[in-house]
Chain A
Amino acid sequence: MFSLKRHLLAVILAAGLGASAASAHAFLDHAQPRVGSHVKVAPHRVIIWFTEAVEPLFSRIQVFNSAGQEVDNKNTHRLHGKKAVLIVTVPALPPGRYKVIWHVVAEDTHKTHGDFKFWVK
């Protein structure tokens, strides 16, 4: 009984002070081409779905080839009507390994970044 009371008290206290000004951080939800995938047809664009809405003006997706050269068209923008989806177009990609690096600012101004690779066969 004591343990139950103690747990209830802890839950109530945790709940009472749980509210805070913590904020959303946008992380990669999924991408196209998929993270770590091997694709037969070279993609014309890289699309990333984030876990939160992002600010397109202060967010960027870059695509690098295996030599470390940036190969995207430097035109990161939001998918029409989708606040949490960013796109960058790429020219026809020859077979090889590609690294995607993303830096985003969530709508609440928090910055996050990450990267993943995909292969064109």
Chain B
Amino acid sequence: MNHLLLLLSRWLHFASALLPCGCWLLDWLMAPPLRGQPWSCAIWKRLMRRELAASLAVALVSGGMWLACVTVSISGLPAEQALRPAVLSLVWHHTHFGQLWQMRLYLWLALAGASAAALALPNEAIRKVLAWLALLLATAFAGSLAWAGHGITGTTPAGRQWHLAADVAHLAVVGIWPLGLLPFVLALRQLRRSAEAQRWRVMAVMTARFSLISIGAVCLLLASGIIDSLMLVGTWHNLLASNYGRLLIIKIAIFAMMVAIGAVNLTRLRTRLQRAAITADEAIYAVVARRLQRNVAIEIALAAVVLGIVAVLGVIAPPVH
């Protein structure tokens, strides 16, 4: 039971802790066309508020669940005894995990404050500064998960540093793709529902920007993944012969499907959306936008499965161990 709760809390925490990083990266890289006009700016701000509030709330609850599950697991006591203040305090103050969670709680508080201020203040100059601060804190909050996992392993100190760096980069990038697909698809939906004449043009520009960001994110995921694979799997035999490796293959297959769907969005739908922007054909716009929204929804569902696999992989010994 504790094992299942641990997997659930890890799954929820990974998704919710990485999303704020994706939101603030998209705010910087994708949202400028949305912020160009008052009506679309209002849509984006509303989305950001909802996404950040929900993800930060889930991150807090799932982080607490994770801590509780870890306390039960490492103390070896029944839950009712392990979750007493004395045992929790021991884990909180005297273990690497507890100290990491303390630091992450401070980061969470700072991120929540910076995010709320950035979205509430009307002054654009101050908003920009706070948005950068929020992005920095969100990246630290997401990247700090590396210290809770395999990022702290490595056969040499230099190997450990490379592994940690790759892990932090990987976690931050996952926030933008595939998790950034969630704010992207919600923005698409809001734009489709809007009655504004400019909505299709804004959608076309936003989609073009997101496509470019996605390509960059996939490249970074590949680069950081190369280091991680070398550290954890090592050989083809390990990949094929171990439970860890087999699960990783399933993850790879799902990743390939997500990249294929992303490629269709990039090569076909984005182009059709841009063509429709020239002809201003409402009917084509509506059809393409609906397909794009459907494809992205499928990608998000697959991303949820991948995160579930990540949660399970985290409790299996990698072959190199």
In the complex the two chains form, is A19's CB within 8 Å of B97's CB? Answer: no
- Does A24 reach chain B (CB closer than 8 Å)? yes
Partner of A20, one of B74, B90, B95, B251: B251
* Nearest CB in chain B: distance from A19 CB, A: 4
* Nearest CB in chain A: distance from B248 CB, A: 7
Query: Which one of B113-121, B129-137, B217-225 contacts A?
Result: B217-225
Q: What 9 new A-B contacts, CB under 8 Å, besides A18-B230, A20-B228, A58-B74?
A: A14-B248, A15-B229, A16-B221, A18-B232, A18-B233, A19-B166, A21-B149, A25-B321, A111-B74
Partner of B248, one of A18, A52, A55: A18
Q: Fill in one digit per residue for B189-233: 1 if any A CB lies within 8 Å of its CB, else 0.
A: 000000000000000000000000000001001111111111011
Bound-complex Cα distance A16 to B173 (A): 12
Residues on the B chain within 8 Å of A67, using CB: none
Q: Fill in one digit per residue for B32-73: 1 if any A CB lies within 8 Å of its CB, else 0.
A: 000000000000000000000000000000000000001001
- In the complex, the number of residue pairs spanning A and B with C-beta atoms less than 8 Å apart equals 122
- Provide the main secondary structure of the chain B interface: helix
Bound-complex Cα distance A105 to B308 (A): 24
Chain B: residues with Cβ within 8 Å of the partner, total of 52
In the complex the two chains form, is B315's CB within 8 Å of A110's CB? Answer: yes
In the complex the two chains form, is B229's CB within 8 Å of A14's CB? Answer: yes
Residues on the B chain within 8 Å of A57, using CB: 90, 94-95
When C-beta atoms are compared, the residue in chain A nearest to B167 turns out to be A19
Bound-complex Cα distance A106 to B252 (A): 28
Which parts of A98-121 form the interface with B (CB within 8 Å)? 105, 107-111
Partner of A107, one of B76, B90, B96, B145: B96
Residues on the B chain within 8 Å of A16, using CB: 218, 221-222, 225, 252, 255
Q: Which of B70, B74, B221, B309 has the largest count of A CB atoms less than 10 A from its CB?
A: B74
Bound-complex Cα distance A55 to B75 (A): 11
* Nearest CB in chain B: distance from A5 CB, A: 15
* Nearest CB in chain A: distance from B69 CB, A: 9
- Does A4 reach chain B (CB closer than 8 Å)? no
Bound-complex Cα distance A23 to B97 (A): 12
Residues on the A chain within 8 Å of B315, using CB: 23, 110
Partner of B73, one of A12, A13, A22, A109: A109
| A-B pairs with beta carbons under 8 Å apart, 18 shown | A13-B256, A17-B252, A18-B229, A19-B225, A20-B309, A21-B148, A22-B149, A23-B149, A23-B315, A24-B149, A25-B317, A51-B321, A53-B152, A108-B149, A108-B150, A108-B152, A109-B70, A109-B95
